[in-house]
Amino acid sequence: MGVSTVTAARILKGQMDGNPGEETILKMETFPYVALSKTYNVDQQMPDSAGTATAYLCGVKANYGTVGLSAAALRYQCNTARGNEVTSVLHRARMAGKSVGIVSTARVQHASPAAAYAHSANRGWYSDSDLPPDAVRDGCRDIAYQLVHNTDINVILGGGRLYMLPNDTADPEYSSTRGDRFDKTNLITEWLKNKKVRLQGSYVWNKAQFDGVDEEETDYLMGLFEPKDTRYELQRNPETDPSLTEMVEKAIKILRKNPKGYYLFVEDEGRIDHGHHGGRALFALTEAVHFDKAIERAMDLTSVLDTLSVVTADHSHVFTFGGYSVRGNPVLGFSRVTADDDKSFTTALYGNGPGYQILNGTRLTTTPFCSLIEFGEYRQQAAVPLDSETHGSEDVAIYAQGPMAHLFHGVQEQSYIAHVMAYAACLEPYDDCILKDLAAPLQTTLLLLPLSLASLLLF
């Protein structure tokens, strides 16, 4: 979610409320501290979500496609992983006695959330069925297995049932779908062991069950609402699947009971990212608007006095927003002028992707706004033909508020984000945090109060 996506989402949010749009302010834009994050991976100029998530969650720059490993580990090479694991701030928070949670609109084993708990030489090793023979031989574990066994996570909400169930087990919602695991292990059952009775833990897979969870009586909650990624907000059935905002609220209410505080990682990157990859700007921008609503609800439930909140992105996309347009022009509408080929064009375009529309050397006429764009199926035109639009290489924004938020300033390496979060919460390697000894009453109060949320609300 680069700056162009933030700008377009801001205008779309306003227009959804019946306003021109340009004057709208996103909740994240009210945060007082802003910086830029350099997103490159160690081995690639244009990054992916695995290497970038490792940077902002673990504090170490990593290689493209690797999760929770330093750059000494090489993608697809299991035997390079051992000894090169890096530890996330989420894991460190749990070791310090805080409650921790993950909320995602993608599968919870996806690259971004995976960096919070897993160590994998390939982001695509979701299930044991994805592991190549050499990885099995060298003792590497799939990401779903690590979700259950690496870190004691209190709240896990998102998609990804497929990778948790044996391949002879039917999905509870789609009878024709089976699990994906060769080892015949039901990881949901494994996760629930010793939790359901003794620690008030539960597992849910639909909205009714989710709504029935009593936050005050629940210490552990796993909710997996789709076999893979959750549905786009434009396609979500509110009767069967909770929204991102609802998941965030449920997570905070469960986690905040811990007197030592908590750490919550929230991402909508999966669905915003996937919308852009498909060249469908309306999907991506609508997700961004609803993501901002989730941020607003999180801010309602927390206090700036004891809560550091950080909003940032894994990376950008080659999404551009410009052309010539009057004030209040629909965010996915047309430029007021035609191009040199006498055809119209939309102000939202992609540098590459599946929206490439050249036939016999001629650019195809853009589909009228009122038809397919309205339903999200229209692909914005792209300059270069690719099956999937690519990530961008430019910096992305960091928005922050709360204790130590002032440390976000200037242009920073992406790995800097994790260090600020750990420092603000006095977590390893800053567990002897000198801030505890500051004499100023306000500063002392801030540090005595548990840092209840170090939340990465990701795009």
User: Which residue has 């996103």 as its token pair?
Assistant: 26
Task: List C-alpha distances in Å: 53 to 114, 119, 165, 195.
Answer: 8, 12, 26, 29
Calpha distance 445→454 (Å, rounded): 17
Calpha distance 263→450 (Å, rounded): 11
Antiparallel, parallel or unpaired: β 319-321 and 348-353? antiparallel
Burial of 98 from C-beta contacts in 10 A (0-12 / 13-18 / 19+): buried
The span from the first CA to the last CA of the chain, in angstroms, equals: 6
Calpha distance 440→76 (Å, rounded): 51
Calpha distance 261→89 (Å, rounded): 14
Closest CA to 265 of 78, 449, 76, 459: 459
Calpha distance 69→66 (Å, rounded): 6
Task: List C-alpha distances in Å: 444 to 305, 408, 454.
Answer: 11, 21, 18
Closest CA to 50 of 65, 29, 32: 65
What three-state secondary structure class fits 444? Answer: helix
85 backbone dihedrals φ, ψ, rounded to 5° = -70, 145
Sheet holding 319-321, edge to edge: 319-321, 348-353, 382-385
Active-site residue, selected from the candidate residues 49, 243, 316, 415: 49
49 as an active site residue: the answer is yes
Beta strands in 186-306 (DSSP E): 201-204, 220-224, 262-267
Q: Which helix (H) or strand (E) holds 246?
A: helix 244-255
Sheet holding 201-204, edge to edge: 201-204, 220-224, 155-159, 99-107, 262-267, 453-458, 307-311, 396-401, 33-38, 411-413
Task: List C-alpha distances in Å: 100 to 35, 150, 403, 455.
Answer: 26, 13, 19, 10
Give the DSSP per-residue string, 29-74: GG-SEEEEEE---SS-SS--HHHHHHHHHHSS---TT-BSB-TTS-
User: Among all residues, which ones are annotated catalytic?
Assistant: 49
